Amino acid sequence: MNDKEKFLFDLNGYLVLENVLTTDEVTAANGAIEHHADRISNREPGLAEDSARLKGAQGRGEFQQNPLTFEPPWCDPFRRMFTHPRVIDVFNEILGTGFRLDHGPGLIRMQHGTEGHRLHGGMSFDPSQYHTFQHGRMQAGLCVAAWQLTDVRPGDGGFACIPGSHKANYRPAIEVLRLEQDWGCVHQVVAGAGSVVFFNEALVHGTLPWQPTDRERRSILFKFSPGFMAWGSAPQQCPITDPTHEEQVLYAPPHRPGRTELTGSQQ
Ligand SMILES: O=C(O)CCC(=O)C(=O)O
């Protein structure tokens, strides 16, 4: 993670890295999603709660199977994302070496008219979702790597947040979290296909309804925690039938001592 990336993640609570996947990798991932369209189902609407601004005609689409367990070669694009050197590099810095997969990967598929998700996160003490700066480095709890497989352009909707709110001391009004009042602080995050959006779950964040009629939103979210900690219930074992060393390390249950360090890259 270079100085600019560290500065922006510490400042904003999120970071967009563009062009991390090649065009071929994006195409392969989209092909795998389309091949498994029958494993996607729309959740019941409800994430918008009672916000008129966030309401939509349908709930978002989600995978009903962990894509890391798809038959080869369909799992390959997701396995590449899982242990991508850029992800390892960023989380070694933010979560500390020995970080682990907490839950996911999950798909968020949004089509025109898919509802949003009320802003949430941060705003109260939660020892599993935090941001601190101590001993010369930032340290975070549960964080997300959200891979974008289609373009997200200004005005499209999708992921939105209040930049810097992972360090905020006051709560915004509930109307702000429902997008019913505009205090000028909610930011829709723009990111191209092939990019990865890292964000801290302590950031106030959520989802805006999806506007485009020519493009679905397709994001694959991996959620990672520091190695000693679990937000979700830890899996008993890695579900991949032929896991690599790195995959096995990332699937280890939470524990503190002697966790294996993975090496990222400074690309
Ligand atoms: O990517 C999004 O639209 C929001 C995801 C979210 O709210 C979460 O992962 O907690």
Domain boundaries, the chain: 3-250
From the options 2.40.30.10, 2.60.120.620, 3.40.109.10, 2.40.50.140, give the CATH code of 3-250: 2.60.120.620
Specify the ligand 1 atom closest to the Cα of 221: 9
Q: Whose CA is nearest to atom 7 of ligand 1?
A: 206
Position 249 scores a pLDDT of 94
* Intervals of the chain under pLDDT 50: none
CB 232 within 8 A of CB 114: no
Q: How many angstroms separate the CA atoms of 248 and 238, rounded?
A: 6
Residues 25-39 pLDDT 10s: 999 999 999 999 999
Position 207 scores a pLDDT of 98
* Ligand 1 geometric centre to CA of 205 (Å): 7
Position 267 scores a pLDDT of 59
144 lines ligand 1 (CB under 6 A): yes
Position 170 scores a pLDDT of 92
83 lines ligand 1 (CB under 6 A): no
Could you tell me the pTM of the whole model? 0.95
- Quote the tokens at residue 134: 């101590």
227 lines ligand 1 (CB under 6 A): no
* Ligand 1 geometric centre to CA of 201 (Å): 9
Q: What percent of the chain has pLDDT over 90?
A: 91
Residues 1-50 pLDDT 10s: 999 999 999 999 999 999 999 999 999 999 999 999 999 999 999 999 99
Position 256 scores a pLDDT of 81
